[in-house]
Amino acid sequence: MNKIDLLKIQFFLFIVGSFVVNSNVLAQSSNIVLGRPTNNSITASVMFDVNKELFIEYGTQSGLYTNTTSPILNVSGVPDEIDILNLQANTRYYYRLHHRTPGNGSYTISDEYTFHTQRTPGSTFTFTLEADEHLYDKKGVANMYNVCLENQANDQPDFMISLGDIFGDDHNPDSITSGELDTLHKNYRPFLQNICHSIPFYVCLGNHEGENDYYLNQNPPNNLAINGTLWRKVYFPNPYPNDFYTGNTDVEPYGVGNPENYYAWNWGDALFVVLDVYRDECDTSAKPQKWDWSLGLPQYTWLKNTLESSSAPYKFVFAHHVRGQGRGGVLPAHLFEWGGYEQNGTSYTFPTKRPGWAKPIHQLFVDNGVNIFFQGHDHVFAHEVLDGITYQALPMAADSTYEIGMLANADAYVSDTLDGTGHLRVTVAPSCVQVDYVRAYLPADTVSGMHHNGEVAFSYTIGDCAPLSIPVQPKLDEIKVLPNPTQDIFKVQFANTPSLCRLKLINALGQVVSQADSRQLNVQEFPSGMYFLSIETEVSTIQKRVIIAH
């Protein structure tokens, strides 16, 4: 987005009576968020809290900058997108930002930052994933999120992707103002500025962004979805179709233009496909169910063509959640538009419910060799496999209790479900892919020695990888609780006995009612019913459903 387009958006928002700029949320004098990396370019979104003249110098060697961008005037509190062009593919670049107060002679120079252009096939690289930051409500904690971001920076990824519920726009969908939406989006930049000066950031939209077709149709143009889209585009440079990215080609009214909401690109040996499961989901409800939800035929057709035309060895698909609403991964994946079956699981009605569509979304994945579908929404880590497709759910990135999703949504998953907070680190090599769940802990929560910030709670690989050099979380079927049900004592058996073990009994209200530093727990005093048994070791924490029956 150039400055002329940005000024048009600002003028439009002013006309509808709700344009507000709140620069007080900036934690530092400036911030930089990189986006849209390609084989020969990258976009730097730069914002100051005072007016500045600025330019970027860059080069392929640290400390040696052979090129500069043209100087621009940056208006206080308004991001400018600087496109750094004519770059070399598969190359690491180093850059610095020069800035000064307009009219002053000397420039202040930033620290040196870095980025990498598109990797060529045969390269090895890393990217990171986070989800459900929820900094706008009580679920997300700023200090916890900063730890998660620092852990991602330590991984030195080529880029990071958030799987949505970042801005929290839809909590007051009928009354939220454009000014409030401006603040919600701007508030996120001071966090990202700490690492996204060197790690390009991609947005995958969640339900709480509120950018769905139901809200788009509510008294346009001054509504949640339109204003949310406008402000997202002001602050975060997401991809749009060009000679590098494919995606949504729509041009929407009211100053929105291209919504930059779904897109695909190649990097190294992998195809990346980011879906928007909300913008075309249903125009009669903000929370459509069953067949009322839809990806929309245009996006479905694009997805089908993108997968079928790709020869990439690895294919990754990203969305906030299967079918946008509900809970779980593989359990809902065989239903309705995603899987073709009715709720009873036996009646296949896809041809009549979606006449003219080739096949359900899951079958598109199967037939075209999708390796992993990544999703957020449920606030819990869960690793499942259906028909050879890995369905991978992400934990929250800022949950300081470490258990919000586990207590609320673990029963929607069938295997490898873990609590905690953190991100996923994905390493792509020519011969394999490795996925690591990297946990984040606040310093006070590591004092006991049971856990360490940055520990890997779970790892798995796809393809032919060398043996892992990190502790690997055992799968649920490698840990047994016997007897279950029991009337007196639960005993835990491990395939590989850990040096430390702590058991916690959790009731249906999420309360810890008993615990012991042992591999067995006496439960004679507790009423009959279903509970969760949390099993903590020096490597990880998992939970199993258990039953007390007197």
Q: Are residues 454 and 498 in the same domain?
A: no
> 281 Cβ partners below 8 Å, 6+ apart?
212, 213, 214, 288, 293, 294, 295, 296, 324
Residue 525: φ, ψ to 5°: -85, -5
The number of domains in the chain is 3
**Are both 413 and 544 inside the same structural domain?**
no
Domain that holds residue 490: 476-548
- 350 and 444 co-located in one domain: yes
Do 400 and 266 belong together in one domain?
Answer: yes
Burial of 541 (0-12, 13-18, 19+ CB in 10 A): buried
452 and 482 fall within a common domain? no
CATH number at residue 104: 2.60.40.10
159 and 185 part of one domain:
yes
Q: Is 418 helix (H, G, I), strand (E, B) or coil?
A: strand
Among residues 59, 92, 116, the one where a domain terminates is 116
* Residue 28 covered by a domain: no
User: DSSP state, 417?
Assistant: E
* Phi, psi of 293, rounded to the nearest 5 degrees: -80, 145
Q: Using alpha carbons, list the distances in angstroms from residue 274 to 203, 245, 302, 374, 516.
A: 9, 11, 11, 10, 44
Q: CA 261, 404, 27, 200: dihedral to nearest 10 degrees?
A: -40
Question: In this structure, is residue 306 part of a structural domain?
Answer: yes
Radius of gyration in angstroms for the set of CA atoms belonging to the chain, rounded to a whole number: 24
Task: Tell me 437's DSSP state.
Answer: E
Q: How far is CA 35 from CA 1, 44, 86, 117, 239, in A?
A: 12, 6, 16, 11, 8
Residue 257 gets which letter from DSSP? B
Shared domain check, 494 and 388: no
CATH number, position 502: 2.60.40.1930
The answer to whether residue 32 is domain-embedded is no
Give the CA distances from residue 446 to residues 133, 409, 421, in Å, rounded to whole numbers and listed in that order. Answer: 22, 25, 13
**Burial label, 218 (beta-carbon count in 10 A; 0-12, 13-18, 19+):** middle
Give whole-number Cα distances, 53 to 21, 162, 192, 194, 247, in Å. 20, 31, 22, 22, 34
Name the 3-class secondary structure at 41: coil
CATH number, position 336: 3.60.21.10
Do residue 290 and residue 373 come from a single domain?
yes
In a domain, 238, yes or no: no
361 and 273 part of one domain: yes
Alpha-carbon distance of 408 to 412, in angstroms, equals 9
Q: What is the pLDDT along the chain (550 residues), one digit of tens a residue?
A: 544 454 444 434 433 333 233 333 333 356 899 999 999 999 999 999 999 999 999 999 999 999 999 999 999 999 999 999 999 999 999 999 999 999 888 999 999 999 999 999 999 999 999 999 999 998 999 999 999 999 999 999 999 999 999 998 888 999 999 999 999 999 999 999 999 999 999 999 999 999 999 999 999 999 999 999 999 999 999 999 999 999 999 999 999 999 999 999 999 999 999 999 999 988 899 999 999 999 999 999 999 999 999 999 999 999 999 988 899 999 999 999 999 999 988 899 999 999 999 999 999 999 999 999 999 999 999 999 999 999 999 999 999 999 999 999 998 998 889 999 999 999 999 999 999 999 999 999 999 888 899 999 999 999 887 644 444 455 555 788 999 999 999 999 987 777 788 898 988 666 789 999 999 999 999 999 878 788 887 766 677 778 899 8
Same structural domain, 287 and 381: yes
Domain end point (choices 463, 494, 518):
463
Shared domain for 187 and 64, answered yes or no, is no
Strands 372-375 and 314-319: parallel
Of 47, 82, 116, the one marking the end of a domain is: 116
User: Is the CB of residue 188 less than 8 Å from the CB of residue 196?
Assistant: no
